[in-house]
Amino acid sequence: MTTPTSNGRVLIIDSTPAVHDQFRAALSMQIDRAGPGRSDPPASGRRHTDAITAPVSFVVESATERHQALTMVADTLESNEPYAVAFVEMGESPWAEGIETVRQLWEIDPDVQVVACASSGDQPWNTIVGALGRSDRLLLLRKPFDADGVWQLARTLSHKWSLARQASIEMEELSRHAQASTAKLEEQIRLRAEIEEELRHLAYHDPVTGLPNRTYLYDRIEQCIQRSLRTPGYRYAVLYLDLDNFKLINDTMGHDRGDRLLQDVAQRLRNCMRSLDAIAKIEEDVAARVGGDEFIVLLEGIRNPSDCLRVAERFIEILSRPFRIDGKELIICASIGVATSDREYLRAQDVLRDADTAMYRAKSLGKARYAIFDPEMHSAAKRRLEIESRLREAVGKQHMRLFYQPIVNVRTQELIGFEALFRCTLPGLDMNPQEIINVAEETGLILPIGNWVFRRACRDLRQWRTQYSHAQHLRMNVNISRRELAAERLVENARNAMADNHIPSELITVEVTESGIIQDADGALARLRELRDLGVQLHMDDFGTGYSSLACLHNYPLDGVKIDRAFTATMISDQRYIAVVKAIVTLCQALNMRITVEGIETPEQLELVDSLGCDSAQGYMFAKPMSAEDVVLLLEQTPDLRLAA
């Protein structure tokens, strides 16, 4: 339904029908008077109003009494053909009738233009203004009417009505437009805010675990530093958590499961932080993931300095509980480094560096531990980095060699073989070999090193066997670390090294540590079985220093154990150790395993292990690790293979 904007509809309300006729006559004279209306200049500027012209003909309707008139007004309004102008007879002075009619008329249609028709000499104009108020919808017409005047009035007022009507339609349209644009704009603003929020979240959070990331943490630590500089007594601490063996799990079980494990770790951290109130008084805490398997917990507003240690202990305990991924139980644990505001830091990066350094110290102390930063650690961390870079160089330039330590039969003291021990010959890398091996293990350099060791050991053994007939039965022990055990190429490399050097596999013994077998038990076990299928013997190295109990021994495909030299050293002075070794020997004999004792330095120790029933021994008492050339000399000098103890 369209709304008319140009309207020549006129209503006459007058009790005298003859008056109606007079109006009709006056308003039907449209043709003569149409001219000026048509040549009127268009109303200024606006497109819609340009189209509106004053009517040149009128539709005239009439009513003789108020009720009839009001009904007509209501009906025409409803049918969307409202009157533009109403000529209303004011009646007898003081025009109460007419005034009431006008009032009711406007109640129904407030837009209708009213011409109040009164006899000349009646009430003054202000009587009507007083009753109805000043209005631009109201004009007074005094009788007797002039036909031209009536026509002109009707034309002008209906034009005015049309313009007002058009204006209101445009206003409505405008406001609809404005509303639509505003809604659109609001939607755009909302979307933009959402995107910005999302971007902010992405910028500050880790996508895998949903925890805050390093950037976020950095800001928070900076804030803590500022606050600690302003507020005496304000304390904070940073706990740097590194998951021990996570890389191994990731490598062997796949990244999907690795991610799930990280998510579970993150969840445990969150849960744990929620329950910290019970053990520590801390204003606020936040956990973030800052690297593959590295998390950081920031404790703000610590009230009791030792609280952060209790928190560290709690984290270690909570992360040591087994995880379950795809029905598989996984054991990981965390090493934690702690740096506290006691050192009055000025930069977040320094706090993180020190916490990281302390974390490395914790790891080197044996994992599943925490360590608090102290400045001496700086030099240790620097040293570790130095070793790493020198070791890379050594591997690249093949500055590597093997030393061989004789292994003898305890009873006959006859040489039965050697243990191959890795050495670096690059100047500056003359430190404890164990330290070098640890760095190699952490950095993955152990893989090329291990491969080289296996080959070189086989090559040297081949040479001795070729050169000396009494060397035919000599065995070779090679150490394999945890990381090597996880590498799929291990077995193939071993097979090739033996085949290329014509070494029967039963002459080779692989030494693995307890931790190597126990952590990621399944992957390691599978690899051990494959090695054993090659015909290689398997010995558990450093037995007694790790976690496994005697009862677990039969779970692994082992041919023997090597009792750690820490046992040997204390056996003489502490009788209890004798009992332990006795138990080990009994069990190993029952399981048909050989027992080698490491670190024999004195005849008493040798006598003791002999009396306990151990099979073979190794130690400075017989020989220190020696170069391949020295092995040749030794073989040369001992055709009966009996080493002088």
Task: By CB under 6 A, name the binding residues for ligand C2E.
Answer: 405, 421-422, 433-434, 437, 450, 453, 479-481, 511, 541-542, 565, 598-599, 601, 618-620, 625
Left (φ > 0), alpha (ψ -120 to 50) or beta: where does 384 sit?
alpha
Binding site partner of 356, from Mg ion, ligand C2E, none, Cβ cut-off 5-8 A by kind? none
Integer angstrom CA distances of residue 38 from 44, 151, 241, 473 = 15, 15, 90, 128
Nearest Cα residue to 388 out of 396, 568, 72? 396
DSSP 565-609: HHHHHHHTT-HHHHHHHHHHHHHHHHTT-EEEE----SHHHHHHH
Closer of 139 and 431 to ligand C2E (Cβ): 431
Nearest to 554 by CA among 541, 567, 540, 544: 540
511 binds Mg ion (CB under 5 A): yes
Q: From residue 520 to residue 559, what is the string marking binding to Mg ion with x (rule CB under 5 A)?
A: ---------------------xx-----------------
- For residue 599, the partner it binds in Mg ion, ligand C2E, none, with Cβ less than 5 to 8 A by kind, is ligand C2E
Closest to ligand C2E by CB, 293 or 511:
511
In sequence order, the 6+-apart residues with CB closer than 8 A to the CB of 454 are: 478, 493, 494, 497
With 0-12 / 13-18 / 19 or more C-beta atoms within 10 angstroms meaning exposed / middle / buried, residue 91 is buried
Question: Cβ of residue 612: shortest distance to ligand C2E, in angstroms?
Answer: 17
Binder of residue 442, out of ligand C2E, Mg ion, none (CB less than 5 to 8 A by kind): none
* Least distance CB 575 / ligand C2E (angstroms): 21
Smallest distance, ligand C2E to C-beta of residue 619, A: 3
Stretch that binds Mg ion, among 27-35, 105-113, 504-512, 526-534 (CB under 5 A): 504-512
Q: Which is nearer to ligand C2E, 307 or 564 (CB)?
A: 564
| Distance (Å, whole) CA 337 – CA 291 | 15
Taking the least distance from each CB to Mg ion, the nearer of 258 and 560 is: 560
Conformational region of residue 625, where left means phi above 0, alpha means psi within -120 to 50, and beta covers everything else? beta
- Whose tokens are 């138990």? That residue is 583
CB under 5 to 8 A by kind: which of Mg ion, ligand C2E, none does 434 bind? ligand C2E
Q: Is 479 in the site for Mg ion (CB under 5 A)?
A: yes
Three-state DSSP at 409 gives strand
Instruction: Give whichever of 87 and 403 is closer to Mg ion, judged by the CB atom.
Output: 403
How many residues sit close enough to Mg ion to count as binding (CB under 5 A)? 4
- Asked if 484 touches Mg ion (CB under 5 A), the answer is no
Would you say 364 and 351 are in contact if contact means Cβ atoms under 8 Å apart? no
Question: Taking Cα atoms as reference points, which of 576, 382, 561 lies closest to residue 477?
Answer: 561
Residue 293 binds which entry of ligand C2E, Mg ion, none, CB below 5-8 Å type-dependent? none
Q: For ligand C2E, give the closer residue by CB, 37 or 433.
A: 433
Residue closer to ligand C2E by CB (options 421, 585) is 421
Dihedral angle of Cα 423, 424, 429, 431, to the nearest 10 degrees? 0
Min dist CB 455 to ligand C2E, Å, is 11
First to last CA, the chain: 119
Omega before 94 within 30 of 0, i.e. cis: yes
Nearer to Mg ion, 293 or 511 (CB): 511
Place of tokens 């307890």: 514
Does 441 bind Mg ion (CB under 5 A)? Our answer is no
CB of 211 to Mg ion, least distance (A): 40
Please identify which residue in the block is written with the tokens 């805050």: 212
Residue 580 Cβ vs Mg ion, minimum distance, rounded to whole Å: 17
Beta bridge partners of 242: 294, 335
122 is in the binding site of which of Mg ion, ligand C2E, none (Cβ under 5 to 8 A by kind)? none
Least distance (Å) between residue 530 CB and Mg ion: 20
Q: Report the nearest approach of ligand C2E to the CB of residue 481 (Å).
A: 4
Residue with tokens 């690790």: 625
Task: By CB under 5 A, tell whether 568 contacts Mg ion.
Answer: no
The residue (of 154 and 561) whose beta carbon lies closer to ligand C2E is 561
Q: Is the dihedral of CA 386, 392, 397, 399 positive or negative?
A: positive
Please choose which of ligand C2E, Mg ion, none residue 519 contacts, taking the beta carbon within 5 to 8 angstroms, the exact cut-off set by kind: none
Q: Which does 307 bind (CB under 5 to 8 A by kind): Mg ion, ligand C2E, none?
A: none
From the list Mg ion, ligand C2E, none, which binds 493 (C-beta under 5 to 8 Å, kind-based)? Answer: none
Got the DSSP string for 245-272? THHHHHHHH-HHHHHHHHHHHHHHHHHH
Name which of 601 and 610 has its Cβ closer to ligand C2E. 601
* Nearest Cα residue to 217 out of 289, 158, 164, 168: 289
- Amino acid residing at 311: V
Nearer to Mg ion, 94 or 546 (CB): 546
Could you tell me the smallest distance in angstroms from the CB atom of residue 287 to Mg ion?
39
Can you give the binding site for Mg ion, defined by CB under 5 A? 479, 511, 541-542
